[in-house]
Amino acid sequence: MFKRILIANRGEIAVRVIRACQELDIETVAVYSEADANALHVQLADQSVFIGPSDASESYLNKAAILNAARESGADAIHPGYGFLSEDADFAEQVSEAGLTWIGPMPETIRLVGDKDIARAAIAPSGIPMAKGSNPLANREEAIAAARKVGYPVILKPVAGGGGKGMCVAHDEKDLCNILDYLVDITKTKYYFEHYIEHSRHIEVQIVADNYGEVLHLGERECSLQRRNQKLLEESPSIALTQDMRDRVGRLAVKAAKSVHYSNIGTVEFLLDLSNNEFYFMEINPRIQVEHGITEAVTGFDLVRTQIRIAAGEALEITQDDVRFTGHAIECRINAEDPDNHFMPSPGQITFLHEPSGPRVRFDSGVTAGLSIEPYYDSMIAKIIVHGRTRGDAIKIMERALKEFRIDGVKTTVSLHKKILKDTYFRTGNIDTQFIKHRMHAYESTEKKDGAKEINASTYFA
């Protein structure tokens, strides 16, 4: 096992990794930028190393500075968390070349699944269903021809990257031309098309794989509630799936992982076409996910400790038959944004913070009262995770937790989460990937009756 791990990240995920290391009796090293000098992850770690200015490109994305910090602190492994350098195959390779252990998939695996076009080609021989798609696009004319061949509507995706960033949907050729005008040069960022399944649910499956060929899944997460392809609320399990469907998508995820010789933990993402209940492969995320906590809640399986143990060379001690699922879990992502003002970021100092707690409530955060939310980084400041006996039970627990949560000094998305949880369509499970876009109109009507500020949902939700 490792003696000391450097966490190449910040915020709540850095805190989460520190806690897992403490439980494993492993020392931790935090890295921090100028803006994060007093951050919670810095306070909790055994050591901390300054790595640069507030701008992430000069600190948390500064590979040389992070490797120097690892050498100076005597770390023997690096955990990248999510975001920043977590999917950078070159950095993972540099970590290994420096004599350190990378806590994640092998660099060649990250490189393979990080390019969606190459990943689709690698997985296709296994027979896993995929939405009809195109090759990477070379120019405007090729894009228009490819869209006609794939069939509208189409979704234009960058070949590299994740988190829903850079995706655009075209319902016809006019839409596509407008998008291409906006992108200016599609060769600067490689894009490709997939046929866009409008009436669908976003289902992802957690996979765990050791270095000895054992691969298993820990069930699915429902991630359909999204704004501009960014997840807002996640659940496990998905109430859209029968047991047969659940078993089927689990087998597909394991098959996909084995086809790319995956190791450590990751997520295989699918679209569930609600017109025929077929699953279509989207991508593999080679890292810990923001929403990993709901899987931990329903399985009792600590994913971060598992990451560390697999990287240290330990074999999985369980098989698929040992995995048990209990109850229902929901996660709300709390962003420092103002939902009544176009979801504008809300930086500022937190003057008061009361964390929700009580039975079956987990609060993952990287902030405390007195700290400032800086404009340099992602706006997510916390996650509330609840675990109930049933979905209805979990909804009631989350409502209590959101009501108990208090924060002053910055605006947050808590008010939007409260509306979602009260929504009849959500409560009955009648949701899909267009839920937020369509249901925001109902929320607007309520706000107008209450005299609140009117917003135009069609402008702000994609």
| Residue with token string 């405007």 | 140
CA–CA separation, 270 vs 201, rounded Å? 8
If the chain, 462 residues long, is cut into consecutive pieces of 10 residues, what is the mean pLDDT of each piece? 98 98 98 97 98 97 98 98 97 98 97 87 90 83 88 85 71 88 67 87 98 97 91 97 98 96 97 95 96 98 98 96 97 95 92 97 96 93 98 98 98 96 96 89 57 33 31
Q: Which residues are designated catalytic? A: 287
- How many CB atoms within 10 Å of residue 84? 20
Q: Say what the pLDDT of residue 451 is.
A: 42
Strands 230-236 and 77-79: unpaired
Q: Say what the pLDDT of residue 455 is.
A: 31
Q: What are the chain's domains?
A: 4-86 (3.40.50.20), 132-195 (3.30.1490.20), 200-446 (3.30.470.20)
Q: Say what the pLDDT of residue 456 is.
A: 34
CA–CA separation, 105 vs 306, rounded Å? 13
CA–CA separation, 385 vs 166, rounded Å? 28
Q: Say what the pLDDT of residue 192 is.
A: 84
DSSP 430: -
Residues 230-255 pLDDT 10s: 899 999 999 999 999 999 999 999 99
Sheet holding 77-79, edge to edge: 47-52, 27-33, 4-7, 77-79, 101-102
| Residue with token string 């080679």 | 286
Contact of 4 with 71, CB cutoff 8 Å? no
**Percent of residues in the chain assigned helix, strand, coil, to nearest 5:** 35, 25, 35
CA–CA separation, 71 vs 67, rounded Å? 6
Q: Say what the pLDDT of residue 186 is.
A: 59
- The candidate with the shortest Cα–Cα distance to 270, out of 284, 282, 256, 286, is 282
DSSP 352-385: EEE---STTEEEEES--TT-EE-TTS-SEEEEEE
CA torsion sign for 205, 167, 344, 426 is negative
DSSP 431: -
Angle at 78 between CA 73 and CA 81, to 5 degrees: 125
CA–CA separation, 87 vs 91, rounded Å? 9
Q: Say what the pLDDT of residue 166 is.
A: 72
- Angle between the N-to-C axes of helices 303-311 and 11-23, in degrees from 0 to 180, rounded to the nearest 10: 70
Residues 336-388 pLDDT 10s: 999 988 889 999 999 999 999 999 999 999 999 999 999 999 999 999 999 99
Contact of 316 with 144, CB cutoff 8 Å? no
CA–CA separation, 339 vs 329, rounded Å? 24
CA–CA separation, 462 vs 459, rounded Å? 8
Phi, psi angles (nearest 5°) of residue 412:
-135, 170
CA–CA separation, 223 vs 163, rounded Å? 12
DSSP 45: S
CA torsion sign for 129, 135, 140, 141 is negative
